[in-house]
Structure 1
Amino acid sequence: MHRQLPDPSQHARIHRIALLFNANKVYDREIIAGIGDYMRSTRATWDLFLEEDFRCRLPGIERFDGDGIIADFDDPAVAEALRGCPLPVVAVGSSYEDPEHYPAKEPYVATDNGKLVSLAYRHLIEAGLQHFALYSLPQAPENRWAQQRELAFTRLRRQDNPAAPIEQEIYRGLSTSAPTWHQAISQLIEWLRGLPKPIGIIAVTDARARHLLQACMTAGFAVPEEIAIIGIDNDPLTRTLSRIPLSSVIQGTVEMGRTAAHLLHQMLGGARLAGRQILVPPVGINVLASSRHQPLASPYVMRARHFIRQYACQGIKTEQVADYVGISRSSLEEHFRRELNCTVHQEILRHKLDAAKHMLASRDVATAEVAVRCGFTSPQYMHAVFRRELDCTPREYQERATTESQS
């Protein structure tokens, strides 16, 4: 008996959908990934239009011969260009403290700024910090979402401490540009110098968090002992641009994309969703070194750990750490024994081992290459350290990590 083949004429209609995002940003890319997830998990058949270089170009969008649009309304130019658009439009963007700021005609899927900032703030409190600040962006129509995060931070600080000096705790700085880069870092350092220490700082994006890390390295502030830093976005590219791994709040951007696609799918079927608002909470926090604050009494240990955190994988020795701190090796060793109950060498080795574990777990790489890149004198020495500290070989650790990630 022959199985009847499906009739192509009965297939669902293919809808032409435009995605108006600047997908060179991780936030936009993950929203697009969520849209793709929705398409793969449903019978939606969409022909997607997205600029080849991933930038959002608006000229001519009013002539788009399609069936629907999903757009980033954090960009005022996008919202303005789609004003009066006859096609179904789903807006994606930032949440607002004032409900009047949401679009009235389009369903709106928003990242929950209040919960993003609250998650970062509570994390810094749990790290034992008592002083807090926020590194934002200059006021501008395209930065409305950053100002919403300022409002969320201000509300949290007022709840916890009505007398908090909010004006000094929020710093907007300069916009990023080549001509003003040196001036921006210099002004950022001056702001950091005037803050009480230790302090936890929330950056409104990972890019702003990277500025903080760079300013701390330039000025010699120990991260996270003096200044603990947490960003928002969990951008993997940003993490590769700093010696100190950056903690970051993971936004629910993939879920935002799935939700936006679901809403548009409903609208293509005739549903009327004008003015509907859906707030998507953050996924969690990727906690890394930049916010793992540990209160320390000795400024020498703070400076030493700051140096070790940056250069452990370059094969530094105890003498080099002591030279950086500016005291004798024996004095530094005594401070380490009192504060951390370990030697300087053991602290260096711990950072090298952590780096090796991360490399082995994150990609298929030869153990010899890991040994070189993590500052071990030889693969044999790294093998011995793994045996002693983890009771397994580097290869066994890699295989176990691979199996766990696939389960």
Structure 2
Amino acid sequence: MIKRISAYPDRLRIALLILNESHWSRSIMDGIARFAAEHGGWDFWLHPRGVKTPPSLPTDWQGQGVISRISDEPLRQSIAKHNLPTINVSWHGVHSHRFPKVIADPQAAGRLAGEFFVNRGFEHIGYIGPPLYYSYQDAVLPELVTAAENAGCRTYQFAPDPAVPQPDFDFQRDRLVQWVRTLPKPVGIVAWNTIQAREIMLTCSAEGINVPNDVAVLAVENDPLVSKLSPMPISYIEQRVEQVGYESAKELHRLISGGKPRHTPLLVAPEGIVEKASTDTVFAADTLVQDAVAFIKRNCDVAISVSDLTRHLDVSRRSLEERFRKVLKRSPAEEIRFARVKVLKDILKQTDLTLAEISQQAGFSCENAMLRFFKRMTGLTPGEFRRNHPQDLLHDGQ
């Protein structure tokens, strides 16, 4: 029997049974590591694995707690034998007193995805759910369908061949091609992950279908590397996965300290949509609205107003407002604000500029004006937002 003894007796010994092959899972471990570092450091026992690597916790392992992606019954049983505080970070299974969950909120992600395409004026929304081998009970789809159909949109779900459950979508290529061909255009497609989103884009390229004007693609789960290997960068839902890891470590620490498990899962709400080229279109027959949005995007780092838009387009404010409402279901002022807050988020995530430097670069009159605007739009201070995205600065420097 192997006796596992920490080199630092006062540090907590925590077992991590989490996938290491996906960006999502590595981001969770980033968040766990951040919390541990803030609390004197933890000693981790790791079981690096892929989806098909059978996980288990050795019977002789000694420690104080476990954070795991509990995806099957054998793993659940191997952890249960230790009778230790355990946090489940998987969408698999149900929340329980013994294995409480800390997860990204899948229902909120579904609503956000549906509302995104609705607000862009799409009347048709497609969906590709989790690969069959994941065996998930899909919590994203119902909320997406509700958001879409409440707005009068039609939804279309891709049905993979159950006889071919392999993760390689080449096995589903013919079926995927037929599905994309039959979808009414233009259509917004929500894909469970970036791998599927990339396959949709490759299919469209082979079929001569324009992305994003005929088919716009949004991923629920983001993988930056897969996005870089795609025909164009893929838009995704910012699900704050690193924060899921941080909150799971925080919750485990609370349980180890004598706290009681929560009655319901701890859900980390998504932050919003990160738009890339795969959805960078304005679905509108109204060319004036298209020109207006293009002007806003070109000038999103300066303090433009609706009056600037009307002068540039030589149109009355009332007419512009009515046409925006009809096509995009929002006002020109809202479009300007959304564009400006996106600029601020990008600068905060990708640079280490001071707040004064950011306010100047983003075209604000002063730092306080920028602070008030960002807080009103996001509910967070710039500092809080940046702390939720520490990995972005590190990745940009590599």
TM-score normalised by structure 1 residue count: 0.62
Question: 1:225-275 deviations in whole A, cap 9, x for unaligned?
Answer: 110000022311111211211111111211111111111112222222264
CA contact (8 A) 1:15 1:46 kept: yes
How many residue pairs get matched? 283
2:272 is aligned to: 284
- Structure 2 vs 1, CA of residues 183 and 13 (structure 1 numbering), >3 Å: closer, same or farther? closer
- Is the partner of 1:231 in helix, strand or coil? strand
1:348-395 Cα deviation digits (max 9, x unpaired): xxxxxxxxxx9xx989xxxxxxxxxxxxxxxxxxxxxxxxxxxxxxxx
Say which SS state the counterpart of residue 93 (structure 1) adopts.
coil
> In structure 1, what is the equivalent of residue 12 of structure 2?
15
Query: Structure 1 residues 75, 222: closer, same or farther in 2, change over 3 A?
Result: farther
State which of 137, 142, 166 in structure 2 corresponds to 1:151.
142
Per-residue CA deviations over 1:293-329 (Å, capped at 9, x if unaligned) read 23477xxxxxxxxxxxxxxxxxxxxxxxxxxxxxxxx
From 67, 84, 87, the counterpart of 1:87:
84
1:126-145 CA distance string (max 9 Å, x none): 322111111113555x3315
For residue 190 of structure 1, report the CA deviation from its aligned partner. 0.2
User: What secondary structure, in the 3-state scheme, does the structure 2 residue paired with 1:248 have?
Assistant: strand
Alignment correspondent of 1:332: none
Measure the CA separation in 2 of the matches of 1:158 and 1:286.
Answer: 23
Question: Where does 1:187-206 land on structure 2 (aligned, <5 Å)?
Answer: 187-206=175-194
Q: How far off is 1:74 after superposition? A: 4.5
Summarize the Cα distance change of 1:289–1:60 in structure 2 as closer, same or farther, 3 Å threshold: closer
- Aligned counterpart in structure 1 of residue 228 of structure 2, from 225, 237, 240: 240
Segments of 5+ residues of structure 2 without an aligned counterpart are 1-7, 286-345, 352-392
Distance 1:198 1:90, change over 3 A: same
| Among candidates 105, 115, 122, match of residue 115 of structure 2 | 122
**AA of the residue aligned to 2:114:** Y
Residue 38 of structure 1: SS of its match in structure 2?
helix
* Cα distance change on mapping 1:239 and 1:181 into 2, 3 Å: closer
Give the alignment of 1:138-287 within 5 angstroms.
138-139=131-132, 142-144=134-136, 147-161=138-152, 166=155, 169-174=156-161, 177=166, 181-273=169-261, 275-287=263-275
Following superposition, the deviation at residue 17 of structure 1 comes to 0.7
Instruction: Give the % identical residues.
Output: 23
Secondary structure in 2 matching 1:271: coil
Q: Which ranges of structure 1 fall in alignment gaps of 5 or more residues?
A: 1-10, 298-357, 364-401
Question: Cα RMSD (Å) of the superposition?
Answer: 3.2
Q: Secondary structure at the match of 2:212?
A: coil
Indicate if the aligned counterparts of 2:212 and 2:281 stay in contact, CA closer than 8 A: yes
**Distance between the aligned counterparts of 1:54 and 1:40, measured in 2?**
26
CA distance in 2, matches of 1:149, 1:133: 13
* C-alpha distance in structure 2 between counterparts of 1:160 and 1:296, whole Å: 17
| Matching of residues 290-369 of structure 1 within 5 Å | 290-295=278-283
Q: Decide whether aligned partners of structure 1 residues 46 and 362 sit closer, same or farther in structure 2, where only a CA change above 3 A counts.
A: closer
Q: Distance in 2 between matches of 1:171 and 1:81?
A: 36
AA partner of residue 129 (structure 1):
F
Indicate how the Cα distance of structure 1 residues 15 and 268 shifts in structure 2: closer, same or farther if over 3 A, else same. same
Could you give the per-residue CA deviations for residues 135-193 of structure 1, whole angstroms, max 9, x where no partner exists?
113555x3315x221222233234334xx665xx1114256748x75441111010111
CA contact (8 A) 1:137 1:172 kept: no
Q: Is the 1:31–1:257 Cα contact (8 Å) retained in structure 2?
A: yes
Q: 2:42 aligned to 40, 46, 52, which one?
A: 46
Give the match's secondary structure for 2:32. Answer: helix
Q: Give TM-score scaled by structure 2 length.
A: 0.63
- Which of the numbers 28, 31, 36 marks the counterpart of 1:31? 28
User: Contact conserved, 1:137 with 1:173, CA < 8 A, in 2?
Assistant: no
Alignment deviations for residues 277-298 of structure 1 (CA, whole Å, 9 cap, x no partner): 211011222201111223477x
